[in-house]
Amino acid sequence: MQPAPDILVVGAGVFGVTAALELTSRGHTVALAVQGPPPFSLAASTDLSKVVRMEYGSDALYMRLAEEAMNGFDAWNESLSRPFYHETGVLMLSRDPMRPGEFEHDSWQMLRQRGHEPERISPSELASRFPAFDANVHTDGFFHARGGWVESGALVAELFGRAVANEVTFVEGMVTDVRITNGRCEGVVLSDGQTLTAGHVLLACGAWTASLVPELKPFFRSSGHPVFHLKPAHPERFTPPEFCTFTADIAHTGWYGFALHPEAGVVKIGRHGTGLDIDPVHDERQVLEEDITAMWSFVRESLPELVDSDLVYTRRCLYADTIDGDYWLDRHPEYAGFTVASGGSGHGFKMAPILGSLIANRIEGIADERLARFAWRTNSIASKREAARFHG
Residues that bind ligand FAD (CB under 6 A): 10-16, 33-35, 40, 43-45, 50-51, 174-175, 204-208, 212, 225, 227, 270, 317-320, 342, 344, 346-350
Q: How far is the CB of 145 from ligand FAD (least distance, A)?
A: 18
Sequential DSSP letters for 94-163:
ESSPP-TTSHHHHHHHHHHHTT---EE--HHHHHHHSTTS-TTT--EEEEESS-EEE-HHHHHHHHHHHH
Q: How far is the CB of 36 from ligand FAD (least distance, A)?
A: 7
With beta carbons less than 8 A apart as the criterion, state whether 176 and 10 touch: no
40/130 with CB nearer ligand FAD:
40
Please, which residues have CB within 8 angstroms of residue 338's CB and are 6 or more apart in sequence?
178, 180, 185, 200, 201, 203, 331, 332
106/386 with CB nearer ligand FAD:
386
Q: How far is the CB of 17 from ligand FAD (least distance, A)?
A: 7
Q: How far is the CB of 4 from ligand FAD (least distance, A)?
A: 18
Q: How far is the CB of 144 from ligand FAD (least distance, A)?
A: 15
Q: Which residues of 311-335 are buried (b: 16+ CB within 10 A; e: fewer)?
A: beeebbbbbbbbbbbbbbbbbbeeb
How many other β-carbons are positioned within 10 Å of the β-carbon of residue 262? 9
104/135 with CB nearer ligand FAD:
104
The helix (H) or strand (E) run that includes residue 357 is helix 352-364
Q: How far is the CB of 352 from ligand FAD (least distance, A)?
A: 8
- Report the C-alpha gap between 291 and 309 in whole angstroms: 17
- Report the C-alpha gap between 325 and 87 in whole angstroms: 26
**Burial environment of residue 172 by CB neighbours within 10 A (0 to 12, 13 to 18, 19 or more):** exposed
Q: How far is the CB of 100 from ligand FAD (least distance, A)?
A: 25
Q: How far is the CB of 291 from ligand FAD (least distance, A)?
A: 12
Q: How many residues are recorded in the chain? A: 392
Sequential DSSP letters for 302-355:
H-GGGTT-EEEEEEEEEEEEETTS--EEEE-SSSBTEEEEE--TT--GGGHHHH
210/299 with CB nearer ligand FAD:
210
